Amino acid sequence: MQFILGIDIGTTNTKAIAFTASGAVIAQANTTYQPLIPEREAHELDPDTLLQAVLTVVQEVLAQTGRQQLAGLSFSSAMHSLMALDADGQPLTRLLTWADGRSRRAAEALKASPDGPAIYQHTGTPLHAMSPLSKLCYWRQQRPALFRQAAKFVGIKEYLLFRLLGGYWIDHSIASATGLFDIEALDWYMPALAAAGVRPEQLSRPVPATTILSGLRPEYARLLELPTDTPIIIGASDGCLANLGSYALLPGDASLTIGTSGAVRMLTSRPRVDPLGRTFSYILADGLYVCGGPVNNGAALLTWYASRFGQGTPPHTHDLSWFLEAAAQAPAGADGLLFLPYLAGERAPVWDAYARAAFIGMGPGHQPAHYMRAVVEGINYSLYQVANAVKETVGDMRTIYVSGGFIRSGDWLQWLTDLFGQELTVSNTADASATGAAILGLKAVGLLPELAAARAFLEVQERFVPDPQQHTRYQQYFKVYEGLYAALHPAFHQLALLGNDPL
């Protein structure tokens, strides 16, 4: 049976799955890498490491499946990345990821500028250090020589496609997360380009997510043992494709993901921009948009806590089941201990790179289990706050599909269900973004009539039902949690000044 190779290029790993026209995963591969942090707030990747990662997972999957039934390669990638290239396409910088916070001052200036509200309304991208718009403003101000030398500014997927195919394209989905793209006109938004100081020819050509490219360079065709005319589906962003890969495709369906970070998203039939600026509105494909909000601090907080305050040897920082088992020894609400989970600043719904983490309500009776429970619940509260903002922007969530590494913990899922007060559904998705890329590829090459037809692949693995008493208890704690950021916001910014991190 024919299959699509869905490839998801992330900031810590690259995954590939072979996904058949009947919705079966017949092979998969994964490779990891580490970010580079040359200075405070930096978060970079070596672009050639990413290219090698893609080649590796493609070779590993094709070694399992063979090549005869391959219908195409379809790409998912992380959003908000940026690197500069010279006129020959050679890198002038490494790749700045969404987590690179050095453009915080530029983002704050944009947000406060007269053009700020219009840029958000037209692009659907909140003004934050994550966005390429802010990164470009930062480079323009802090690295003017680099800015003058750069012929092209591209992201992860664009650079890889340039290396593989020799051209510059950007899918509408990734473009819609740059802060530079008009999500209704489907073209670059000139006021945003003017704010960044770039010209349209310095950016890639925007194309729909189902666009099929070809012309694999001979050296890569030989390496991968593929014809040069192998269909390459440009694909979409990892966040939008996670909705597709989670089968959250009907009105009222939501996707909730917790990995290193986290997000809540809903599919919409038109752009839905929040009047309060709390959420994003990005393009998926075929007239579909995704409204949602990402949080910076997901399961990475468990690793952080384990490495700083955990017990035992380093393996504990990789297998965190012990953490959740310990957290389960404390009651819901951790006996009055709350955790504000802004260790790495925060995106939705507050969009404040200067926000920081804090334990609130510490008392002499709190044991390690209380702190661990509070950390997990802090992540849950942050996602619930995002979900409320999404619901206010789009409408009620009928079904919530969950994905990410956290679904291996029944305790964590139950606590989240109790907080939300509605069922959470675990589906059969192996990797939501890679699966979404494969589904999009099936549609592009004609093996799937429409994206909604992928619902036929859905298999519900488990449903978690809320406990009404626990829901009531969590709502009481959440009311306190909601007020913490506003109360501490002035202190966060004062501490940034005292820490030689000027606004």
For the cut 60, the answer to whether the pLDDT of residue 248 exceeds it is yes
Question: What six digits make up the tokens of 462?
Answer: 């488990």
For the cut 80, the answer to whether the pLDDT of residue 88 exceeds it is yes
Give the mean pLDDT of 212-233: 98
For the cut 60, the answer to whether the pLDDT of residue 312 exceeds it is no
The domain locations on the chain are 3-240, 297-428+467-503
Range scoring the smallest mean pLDDT among 144-153, 251-260, 370-379: 251-260
pLDDT computed for residue 501 by the predictor? 58
pLDDT computed for residue 345 by the predictor? 93
Phi and psi for 154 in degrees, rounded to 5? -135, 165
Burial class (CB in 10 A: 0-12, 13-18, 19+), 38: exposed
Task: Check if 3-240 and 297-428+467-503 are the same fold.
Answer: yes
pLDDT computed for residue 408 by the predictor? 87
pLDDT tens digits for range 322-337: 999 999 999 999 999 9
Range scoring the smallest mean pLDDT among 38-52, 183-197, 217-231, 424-438: 424-438
Burial class (CB in 10 A: 0-12, 13-18, 19+), 75: buried
Question: Does residue 350 contact residue 485 with C-beta atoms inside 8 Å?
Answer: yes
Tokens 């051209």 label which residue?
Answer: 167
Crossing angle, helix 468-498 and helix 410-420, to 10 degrees? Answer: 90
pLDDT computed for residue 317 by the predictor? 53
CATH topology for 297-428+467-503?
Nucleotidyltransferase; domain 5 (3.30.420)
For the cut 50, the answer to whether the pLDDT of residue 313 exceeds it is no
At 404, the pLDDT band (50, 70, 90 cuts) reads confident
Q: What percent of the chain has pLDDT over 90?
A: 90
User: What's the helix, strand, coil split of the chain in %, to 5?
Assistant: 40, 20, 35
Spatial distance between the Cα atoms of 408 and 56, rounded to a whole number of angstroms: 27
For the cut 70, the answer to whether the pLDDT of residue 314 exceeds it is no
pLDDT tens digits for range 253-266: 999 999 889 999 99
Please list, in sequence order, all residues whose beta carbon lies within 8 angstroms of the beta carbon of residue 192, skipping any fewer than 6 positions away.
119, 122, 123, 133, 179, 180, 181
**Selected residue with higher pLDDT from 318 and 447:** 447
For the cut 50, the answer to whether the pLDDT of residue 441 exceeds it is yes
> What integer best gives the mean pLDDT of the chain?
95
Question: Does residue 471 contact residue 433 with C-beta atoms inside 8 Å?
Answer: no
Side chain identity at residue 256, one-letter code: L
Helix (H, G, I), strand (E, B) or coil at 474: helix
pLDDT computed for residue 329 by the predictor? 98
pLDDT tens digits for range 4-58: 999 999 999 999 999 999 999 999 999 999 999 999 899 999 999 999 999 999 9
CA distances in angstroms from 378 to 110, 370, 381, 392, listed in the order given = 30, 12, 5, 21
Choose among 177, 103, 178, 94: nearest CA to 134.
Answer: 103
Please list, in sequence order, all residues whose beta carbon lies within 8 angstroms of the beta carbon of residue 353, skipping any fewer than 6 positions away.
101, 104, 107, 128, 129, 345, 346
Out of 3.40.50.1100, 1.10.150.120, 3.90.245.10, 3.30.420.40, the CATH code matching 3-240 is 3.30.420.40
Give the mean pLDDT of 177-191: 98
Spatial distance between the Cα atoms of 6 and 154, rounded to a whole number of angstroms: 21
**Residue 291, number of CB atoms within 10 A of its CB:** 26
Crossing angle, helix 410-420 and helix 368-394, to 10 degrees? Answer: 50
pLDDT tens digits for range 60-81: 999 999 999 999 999 999 999 9
Three state DSSP letters for 278-301: CCEEEECCCCCEEEEEEECCCCHH
